[in-house]
Amino acid sequence: MDIYDLFFYMSLGAGFLMAFNLGANDVANSMASAVGARAITVRQAVFIASILNFVGAVFLGSQVTSTISKGIINPAAITDPKLIMIGMFAALLAAGVWVLVATLTSLPVSSTHSIVGAITGFGLVAGGPSVVNWLKMGGIVMSWIISPFLAAGIAFFIFSHIRKYILFKHHFIEQAKRWAPIWIALALFMIALSFLYKTPAGKSLHLHWSLSLMVALGVAFAAWAIGRLFTSRIVIDEEEGAEGVERIFRKMQIGTSCYVALSQGANDVANAIGPVAAIYLIAKEHQLLAKADVPTSMLVLGGFGIAVGISVLGHKVMKTVGTKITTLTNTRGFAVDIGAASTVLVASNLGLPVSTTHAAVGGVVGVGLARGFHAVDFRVLLRIVAYWIATVPIAALTSIVFFVLLKWLCYS
């Protein structure tokens, strides 16, 4: 076994550690609102999120994985491929350790921030500032800024709409039966487009964009029709109060939480498997190729690690996001899920490793602000933002320390 094989096998372990931490920390993004609104229990959330994150990671994750492995640094600027291999391994370890620390303190941090900061850290030491693809970094940084505000804006709009056209109307149930199927149709429309444009099965159909749009519209129409039947059976008494509305949205929220978990797996697996894929390519070809397929077995490893992490430590961050920022009900939780999932799926389809954490927290803050500033606990929010700001420099510095030590061991 040469040093390339050794680092490849070690990277599988480090990739699993990172995937475990993704599951442990980012599970809050997919299921926290449903648990906080008491639509499902923690045990049910863990079960659902484990399966859907795995499916999302394996069948939807390859595109963003490619961006993480080769988009942040320019491998051509580092002549020795062994240095890239050591650096990617150091980045995985550094990001994994930081996310684990945040999870143990019950605070949600961006795994995307962590891995991008860690890769940038070793890249600066190995090749200097020119090695970093600053244009790509600019796009990633923009997604960090855009994602929380976009998710907050969408969640704010949806919950304000629900309040204005359902909760503030005299006939609660009649209005809920009118609008709930429309929201269901919108969610299914986006999921259908995502599958057609991102999954291997959807891509293999080679559908023209206009035909894809028609298929998605057909799915949305079917969802609307089924949704009308679904909502009329949940609440029969037209005079039932706000609790009847919440009961309709409770069922819908379980569906939207599943939608978030699926998109989360697709987007976040790149943070664990991107560096592993880069190391795999170097171990195999002794160079980082410009383009190569990411083996499905690696996506399976990432998906499995995420599922284990959710099961073991997922409850910690779930509690913070679901209950401590603002009080969630089923209508509010539904708005949070749609806001976060829409943001993540759009960014994921563009190949941007958007922060799921930022989108989820942004959505929670958005529905809180819809009821006024008093509805948001800004002390908790400020602690979360402080961790977000610290993530990139801490991950970068830790990665540099690991990289320098490993380089000294390998070259001495």
Q: Is the pTM of this model over 0.85?
A: no
Whether the per-residue pLDDT at 346 is higher than 60: the answer is yes
Per-residue confidence (pLDDT) for residue 186, from 0 to 100: 85
Q: How far is CA 230 from the centre of its chain?
A: 29
Cα dihedral 70, 76, 77, 79 sign: positive
pLDDT at 16: 92
For residue 132, list its beta bridge partners: 73
DSSP 170: S
| Mean pLDDT of the 336-359 span | 77
Decide if pLDDT at 128 tops 80. yes
CB 343 within 8 A of CB 263: no
The answer to whether residues 70 and 290 touch, using CB atoms and an 8 Å cutoff, is yes
Position 212 pLDDT exceeds 90: no
Strand, coil or helix: what is 382? helix
Task: Give pLDDT, residue 103.
Answer: 92
End-to-end CA distance of the chain: 19
Among residues 89, 117, 101, 78, the alpha carbon closest in space to that of 404 is found at 89
The one-character DSSP state at 294 is: P
Q: What are residue 73's phi and psi, to 5 degrees?
A: -120, 155
Distance CA 282, CA 364 (A): 41
AA letter at 297 = S
Tell me the per-residue pLDDT of 5-46, one tens digit each, with 9 for 90 and over.
888 899 999 999 999 988 888 766 777 888 888 888 888 888
Amino acid, res. 398: T
334 contacts 39 by C-beta, under 8 angstroms: no
Residue 372 backbone class (left: φ over 0; alpha: ψ -120 to 50; beta: rest): left
pLDDT digits (tens, 9 = 90+) for 377-392: 999 999 999 998 899 8
| Separation of CA 412 from chain center | 40
Question: What residues are paired with 73 via a beta bridge?
Answer: 132
- For the stretch 87-107, pLDDT in tens is 989 999 999 999 999 999 989
Task: Tell me the mean pLDDT in the region 259-280.
Answer: 77
**pLDDT tens track for 169-196:** 877 788 888 888 998 898 788 778 777 7
Mean pLDDT value across residues 117-138: 86
Is-contact 305 15, C-beta < 8 A?
Answer: yes
Q: Dihedrals φ, ψ of 62, to 5°?
A: -65, -35
Checking if the pLDDT of 69 tops 60, the result is no
Mean pLDDT of 265-282: 79
Question: According to the model, what pLDDT value does residue 63 have?
Answer: 58
Give residue 152's pLDDT.
93
pLDDT, position 365? 93
pLDDT reported for residue 198: 61
| Percent of the chain's residues with pLDDT above 70 | 89
- Give the residue with greater pLDDT, 49 vs 397: 397
